[in-house]
Structures are given as structure tokens and as C-alpha cells.
Structure 1
Amino acid sequence: MNLFPRKFPKDEDGQVLKMLYKDGVDFKQLQNVDFFVAVPDKESGESVLKELGDNGFNCELEQDEDTEEYTCYCFVKMLLNHEDIVNIQKQLDELSKPYDGYTDGWGVMVD
């Protein structure tokens, strides 16, 4: 057992990582991380989907039935590392910006 608490940056991503760590997620195992890219409409979403796919991301476009908002979900199998998570979000942001999209967080399914 680790006697010293793990240190995480004090930003939003660091807080999510800290919560996952406290929930017992194994940071030494690859995790399925979902990154969310908000888009203004279906047409923009399809353009973002193509752009992200062309850049090696595995994504799908979904519409929320309640809000009718569109989101591209991008799936990345990776180790939970703050710097990598921040860098992927920056990359998704840059790729989706020409289509009025923007990164809107990320998550990991925990048992």
C-alpha cells in the first residue's frame, strides 16, 4: 500500500485524476478514456468526426435526446497521465476549432 498520497495538479483534470485514484483506479493499467468534443450541429459534428478520424482518433457522433446537442466521443486507450490528457484535449480542441467545436472534458468508466 502506498503510504504517500499521490500528488495531482490543482486544475480540473488533476482533480478528476485524484478522484479516480481515490476510487482505486489502477494508474499502471491502460484505461479506456472518453474525450468529449462539443459541436454546434450535426453538419459540424460530421466534419469534426472526419477531421479527428483523419488524425488517428476513434470517434463517434451522438445527439443528446433531451438537449438535442451534438457531441463527438473520442475513445483513447491510455495510461492516466495528466500531461497526456491535457495534450490530447489541446489537440482535439485545435482540430475541432475550425468547425466551431471545442473539447468539453473527459471521463473513465469505473467499476
Structure 2
Amino acid sequence: MNFPKDETGKVLFEMQKAGIDLTIMHTIVFFHLFETQEKAQAMAAHLAEIAPDIICDVHINEDPKAWDLDCAIKVIPLYDVIIAQEAQFEQIVTQFNGYTDGWGIEA
């Protein structure tokens, strides 16, 4: 597979190089950071209403001192799918005064 030469493309390339089969379903976790637990929980509650298939986990991050909201979805990790999901999360997270902090794959 060929990937665009941006951050997402580089991550997918490295995953493929490491032997991860990118043609099958994986759990992809998208990371978001908030200043308060309430804002992280509010976004998690919002996602539970609009996208109940997304598994959300709110927890404290000591370095930096912030609240994490990890959002896990099962998808085939195609470049376009990940970019589209990141864009959707970006629109939502700003409504709750948070910001996106990348993504990863559950091993």
C-alpha cells in the first residue's frame, strides 16, 4: 500500500512495516485532551447519544495535568477513514473546549 506523506500516512506505513494487517478490522483509539473532567465527560455523554458504537474512556493524565477522553472504534484502518473520523472528532471536541491529540491502534 502507498500512503500520503503526512503524519497519518507515516503512522500507517510504520504499522504496515511492523506487520500489522491493515486490511482487517482493528480497534482505533482517538485521543482528546480537556482541562476539566466535566468537559471530557460532557463530550463522552454527547458521543454516547450520537454514536453509541464509540467506546469512550475518561481518565486523568498526570503529564500534562489534563483529562483524557479516549474514543475507540472498530474499523478497517484505511487512510481516508481515519482522516474523516479525525475531522469529525475535531468538530465535536472544539464544542467542549478540548483538543485532539492523535490516534493509535489497540494491539
Relative to the length of structure 2, the TM-score reads 0.90
**Whole-Å separation in 2 of the counterparts to 1:109 and 1:75:** 9
- How many Å apart are 1:65 and its aligned residue? 3.3
**Structure number with higher strand proportion:** 2
**Whole-Å separation in 2 of the counterparts to 1:109 and 1:24:** 14
- How many Å apart are 1:86 and its aligned residue? 0.8
- How many Å apart are 1:109 and its aligned residue? 3.1
**Whole-Å separation in 2 of the counterparts to 1:105 and 1:66:** 16
Structure with higher Rg: it is: 1
Query: For residues 34-45 of structure 1, what are the structure 2 equivalents within 5 Å?
Result: 34-45=29-40
- Considering only aligned residues, what root-mean-square deviation do their CA atoms show, in Å? 1.2
| Match of residue 32 from structure 1 | 27
- The answer (yes or no) to whether the contact 1:45–1:70 under 8 Å persists in 2 is yes
The unaligned stretches of length 5 or more in structure 1 are 1-5
Query: For residues 1-111 of structure 1, what are the structure 2 equivalents within 5 Å?
Result: 6-56=1-51, 57-110=54-107
**Whole-Å separation in 2 of the counterparts to 1:66 and 1:104:** 13
Deviations 1:32-65 (A, max 9, x none): 1111011121111111111122221221111013
**Whole-Å separation in 2 of the counterparts to 1:53 and 1:92:** 13
| Structure 1 outlier segments of 4+, above 3 Å | none
Q: 3-state SS of the aligned residue for 1:97?
A: helix
The unaligned stretches of length 5 or more in structure 2 are none
Q: How many residues align?
A: 105
